[in-house]
Amino acid sequence: MNAVGIDVSKGKSMVAVVRPFGELVVKPYEVRHTASELGELANSLKSLEGETRVILEHTGRYYEPVASLLHNAGIFVSAVNPLLIKQYGNNSIRKVKTDKADSLKIARYGLDNWSELREHTPMDTIRYQLKSMNRQYGLYSKNKVTFKNNLIALLDQTYPGVNSLFDSPAREDGSQKWVDFAASFWHTDCVRSMSQSAFAERYRKWCKKHGYNFNAAKASVIHADSKELVSMLPKSPLTKVMVQEAITQLNTVSRAVEVFRSEMNRLAEKLPEYPVVMGLYGVGKALGPQLMAEIGDVRRFAHKGSLTAFAGVDPGANQSGTYEAASVRSSKRGSPALRKTLFLVMTVLLQNAPPEDPVFQFLDKKRAEGKPYYVYMTAGANKFLRVYFGRVKEYLATLDIVE
């Protein structure tokens, strides 16, 4: 019975092996994340007498190459939530925080929770790629909002309200009509310096060049409104450079977001649960792949409660003696990326209000009871995950039977 505690960091790890009753089998030593050293580590662990289990923290992406290589070598690997390790064994008034001490602490945690350790199963290539791409998609989406707000703030000083001139949806490449318009007419003087007829002709040619429908009445409204606007920045080469560069940055990141969205959907189509997930109300080609990326293989969860706990939308409990709290906050200790996606799904349900959908019925019921926004949104996310778990797991079970 060998508990191998591995404290993982970037590029290297600290390894310690402990047996019951505090027997130190292998003193903490450093292993770099190279194929040769990790291979040597796997061989040395397989040579130990008795059953061997490796315990490491589920932190970032640093642990993945270690866990994957040891798993492929036939060694039992368990990736544990870092919070469980942090809360374990704090029975000393001394505060020691070193990689060696942490590796020993992880190993002792493994011994005390030996029967409850869950084996780590690396995601297949498609799921791994999908999750990695989803993280990039989230980053670029966040940057898109930042660049968009920056451009609007800048245009408020040159052409106030230009972002509200058109309500055309974004194109497949991420471009938007108001952004394209601002690239050509970046200052109010670019419009009001011309006569109405001259601007209408210029606007017509611009619409033809960019593939937009021309509307003479719209051109008249834009020209008339431009005369009433107040610009804080002058029409100068410096101002034009600032606006044009802001537009270039926004268009670039918008294009990247759409590329990631398309590729994520292409990858998700290869997963067996794709038709079931896409059949859930509120899930489209954007949110569906995000859900599958963050949840992964639903069969790795023992029951519905495991999935809701993973998402951090599980209801808490606060009871002692005769006291029992009527309302307890959710744990929020799971995946923040998954919670964000779930809230977007709940928003779609609220906007469309499908009367026959069970998740919306539950969501609307909680809202009608006067529950606060975050309470009924979290409750709806919990309900949605339970439906997701049941339908996807049942569908995957039928596929296993057919195979």
At residue 403, the pLDDT reads: 44
Per-residue model confidence as pLDDT tens digits over 195-233 = 999 999 999 999 999 999 999 999 999 999 999 999 999
Please, where are the H alpha helices in 156-286? 177-184, 189-192, 196-210, 216-226, 237-268, 274-278
Question: What pLDDT, on a 0 to 100 scale, did the predictor assign at position 112?
Answer: 86
d(CA 204, CA 340): 42
Q: Which of 38-47, 111-120, 185-194 has the highest mean pLDDT?
A: 185-194
- Average pLDDT, integer, range 118-133: 83
SS3 for 9? strand
Q: Are 126 and 270 within 8 A, CB to CB?
A: yes
Q: Which of the pair, 103 or 314, is modelled with greater confidence?
A: 103
Closest CA to 131 of 255, 293, 286: 293
If one counts every other C-beta atom within 10 angstroms of the C-beta of residue 134, the result is 23
Per-residue model confidence (pLDDT) at position 114: 87
Q: Measured between alpha carbons, how far is 146 from 141 in angstroms, rounded to an integer? A: 9
Amino acid at 130: L
Q: Can you tell me the distance from the alpha carbon of 178 to that of 68, in angstroms, rounded to the nearest whole number? A: 48
pLDDT number for residue 313: 83
Task: Please tell me the predicted confidence (pLDDT) of residue 319.
Answer: 53
What mean pLDDT is predicted for residues 12-22? 87
Mean pLDDT, to the nearest integer, of 305-315? Answer: 84
Q: What confidence tier does 325 reach under pLDDT thresholds 50, 70, 90?
A: low
pLDDT of residue 1 exceeding 80, the answer is: yes
Tokens of 52: 């061997």
* Pairing status of strand 12-19 against strand 2-9: antiparallel
* Token duo for residue 164: 């509200």
DSSP, residue by residue, 57-86: E--TTTHHHHHHHHHHTT-EEEEE-HHHHH
- In this prediction, residue 219 carries a pLDDT of 92
Q: Distance between CA 395 and CA 199 in Å, rounded?
A: 59
Highest mean pLDDT among 12-26, 49-63, 323-337, 380-394: 380-394
Q: What is the pLDDT of residue 94?
A: 64
How many CA atoms lie within 13 Å of 350's alpha carbon, on the beta-carbon side?
A: 17
**For residue 136, which phi and psi values (nearest 5 degrees)?**
-70, -40
Is the Cα dihedral 40, 41, 46, 50 positive or negative? positive
For the cut 90, the answer to whether the pLDDT of residue 140 exceeds it is yes
How far apart, in Å, are the Cα atoms of 311 and each of 92, 223, 272, 280, 295?
A: 32, 51, 22, 18, 8
- CB count in 10 Å sphere of residue 360: 22
Would the pLDDT of 188 be above 90? yes
Rg (CA), the chain: 28
Segment 266-278 mean pLDDT: 92
Helix (H) or strand (E) holding 149: helix 125-155
The string of DSSP codes covering 353-387 is: --TT-HHHHHHHHHHHTT--HHHHHHHHHHHHHHH
> Considering the chain, what is the average pLDDT of its residues?
87
Residue 117 is classified by DSSP as P
pLDDT at 142 over 70: yes
